[in-house]
């Protein structure tokens, strides 16, 4: 469920009027936190503690913590075990604002805390489904993540400062506040700062550590609201419809749970709507006229301007009239330049759709692999709504990294000669740039290699030039009926040289002149209309994006 300012304000107004469905406390919390992110002068914080200050740094995943520690320590960090065997601890010395600090870097594994109902409301028969809209909820740590929480508590007791290195989006901000709450529960005096970055590279990490900011409470509160609403609405309607439908269909649904989700329900609606359209589709027969110019060098097919008719008798009458005088006369010849646009920079929705269509990788697997490439420092942050490269992002050095690749290196080198010229999109989230490679990575395997190659080729393609061609349209007339044929000659492939995922092929036409005549071969083929196909995963992602369904860029994980 996408939570934006208008929604928050609208729901808040409804709540003041006593709306029975949504909890007042959550939305008011979100409104209270709605403010601005302020940069922090870390020098005063560091000066207050002097040399030897101990700083706890926490990333969202172990791979990110490992790579961040390696960059900040120059590869000299020392590893020790935490209480969770999946989340290591890395220690190193670091100079912050000119003063020596003892850094501890560790991680969580996504969300540390989750909402649940108070114990007395968890059993299905403990209350009516409607009571779940107002009953108490708590945020607690699951048993699996308790070792991570105990590690944070232990390390926080020893430190004077906490720096949050979780992903820089709403979900990451909320995870950051979960970390803050756990750490401050055992060390209330802990100073807390936030690192903002879009890629795990030396330059980006340096910028982040030199420009630490306050954590963004408004973004975290928005996630809290979404999580609580999803829990209340999902649980209430799941219990209600499961219990009700079991009464109606006791034999068939005795052991079934009928789930409801704020995103699941409308998304399934798209699938069902398309299925019902296909099932109710009634095919219609149609007929058309086809003209062919038979040549030893190859036949040329002309398409009927009427396209097709659904009346066989009418089509046959026109066909027989054409057969009586089958000589075709060229009435118009036009040749004009034609371009095939290069792609715009890559955002998350396009990454999911294109990977599904072109690479046959599911959206869920795409985001899993993209997150891994990101934590390894090979691509920028993969959850972004932006398809405009910011002016301050230096593109040439990123292209330079790719010049030694045996497959696309020569193209990258030519691109540097003319200078990168990105085709810009129209969207920006003002948080992260479009997805792009940040480091050359020749040793990848499997889907990691395929997705990384796609990101690189897409990046180089959008910085190149549109493909250019010359399109020829020839119109002919047979017994008063009009027909046309199109040809294409590609004059400059440009971005297509590096982007095999787009197809644009030559279609050769002979030279025709206005007034030229030829004996035509006529045919009257028939066919039937067909229903639309079932939705593909890429189609479904596009529909969810169009209708604003799903947590921000969360289609891959739903």
**C-alpha span between 210 and 196 (Å, rounded):** 10
Q: In a 10 Å sphere around its CB, with 0-12 CB exposed, 13-18 middle and 19+ buried, how is residue 195 labelled?
A: buried
**C-alpha span between 329 and 346 (Å, rounded):** 48
Its sign, for the CA torsion 237, 238, 241, 247, is: negative
Contact 443, 391 (CB under 8 A): no
**C-alpha span between 366 and 132 (Å, rounded):** 36
Q: Which residues pair with 304 in a beta bridge?
A: 483
For the question of residue 90 being annotated catalytic, the response is no
* Residue partners of 75: CB distance under 8 A and separation at least 6: none
Contact 370, 451 (CB under 8 A): yes
The residue annotated as part of the active site, out of 381, 495, 499, 512, is: 381
Q: Which residues pair with 39 in a beta bridge?
A: 213
Contact 547, 266 (CB under 8 A): yes
Tokens describing residue 340:
């095939």
Q: Say how many CA atoms lie within 13 Å of 449 toward its Cβ.
A: 6
**C-alpha span between 185 and 532 (Å, rounded):** 57
Q: Which amino acids are annotated catalytic? A: 381
């Amino acid at each position: 469920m996408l939570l934006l300012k208008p929604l928050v304000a609208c729901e808040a107004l409804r709540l003041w009027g006593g709306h029975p469905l949504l909890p007042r406390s959550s939305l008011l919390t979100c409104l209270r936190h709605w403010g601005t992110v302020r940069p922090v002068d870390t020098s005063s914080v560091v000066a207050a503690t002097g040399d030897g200050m101990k700083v706890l740094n926490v990333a969202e995943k172990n791979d990110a913590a490992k790579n961040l520690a390696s960059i900040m320590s120059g590869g000299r960090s020392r590893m020790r075990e935490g209480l969770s065997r999946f989340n290591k601890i890395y220690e190193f010395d670091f100079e912050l604002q000119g003063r020596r600090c003892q850094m501890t870097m560790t991680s969580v594994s996504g969300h540390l805390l989750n909402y649940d109902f108070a114990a007395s409301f968890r059993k299905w028969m403990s209350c009516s489904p409607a009571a779940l809209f107002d009953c108490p909820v708590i945020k607690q740590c699951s048993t699996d993540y308790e070792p991570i929480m105990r590690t944070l508590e232990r390390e926080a007791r020893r430190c004077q400062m906490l720096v949050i290195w979780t992903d820089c989006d709403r979900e990451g901000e909320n995870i950051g506040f979960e970390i803050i709450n756990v750490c401050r529960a055992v060390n209330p005096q802990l100073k807390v700062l936030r690192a903002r970055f879009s890629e795990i590279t030396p330059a980006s990490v340096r910028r982040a550590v030199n420009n630490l900011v306050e954590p963004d409470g408004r973004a975290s509160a928005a996630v809290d609201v979404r999580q609580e609403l999803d829990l209340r609405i999902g649980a209430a309607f799941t219990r209600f419809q499961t219990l009700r439908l079991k009464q109606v269909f006791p034999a068939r649904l005795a052991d079934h749970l009928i789930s409801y989700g704020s995103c699941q329900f409308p998304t399934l609606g798209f699938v069902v709507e398309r299925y019902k359209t296909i099932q109710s589709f009634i095919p219609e027969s149609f007929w058309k006229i086809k003209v062919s110019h038979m040549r030893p060098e190859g036949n040329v097919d002309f398409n009927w301007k009427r396209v097709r008719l659904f009346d066989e008798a009418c089509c046959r009458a026109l066909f027989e009239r054409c057969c009586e005088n089958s000589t075709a006369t060229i009435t118009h010849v036009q040749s004009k330049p034609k371009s095939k646009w290069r792609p715009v920079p890559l955002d998350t929705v396009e990454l999911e759709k294109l990977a599904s269509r072109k690479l046959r990788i599911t959206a869920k697997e795409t985001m899993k692999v993209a997150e891994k490439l990101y934590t390894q420092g090979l691509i920028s942050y993969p959850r972004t709504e932006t398809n405009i490269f910011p002016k301050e992002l230096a593109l040439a050095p990123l292209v330079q990294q790719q010049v030694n690749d045996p497959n696309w290196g020569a193209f990258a080198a030519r691109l540097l000669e003319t200078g990168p010229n990105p085709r810009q999109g129209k969207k920006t989230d003002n948080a992260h740039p479009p997805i792009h490679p940040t480091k050359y990575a020749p040793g990848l395997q499997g889907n990691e290699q395929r997705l990384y190659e796609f990101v690189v080729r897409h990046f180089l393609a959008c910085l190149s030039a549109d493909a250019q061609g010359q399109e020829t349209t020839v119109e002919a007339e047979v017994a008063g009926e009009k027909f046309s044929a199109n040809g294409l000659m590609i004059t400059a492939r440009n971005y297509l040289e590096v982007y095999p995922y787009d197809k644009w092929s030559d279609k050769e036409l002979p030279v025709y002149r206005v007034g030229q005549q030829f004996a035509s071969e006529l045919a009257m083929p028939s066919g039937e209309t067909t229903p639309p196909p079932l939705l593909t995963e890429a189609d479904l992602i596009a529909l969810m994006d169009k209708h604003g369904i799903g947590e921000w860029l969360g289609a891959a994980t739903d």
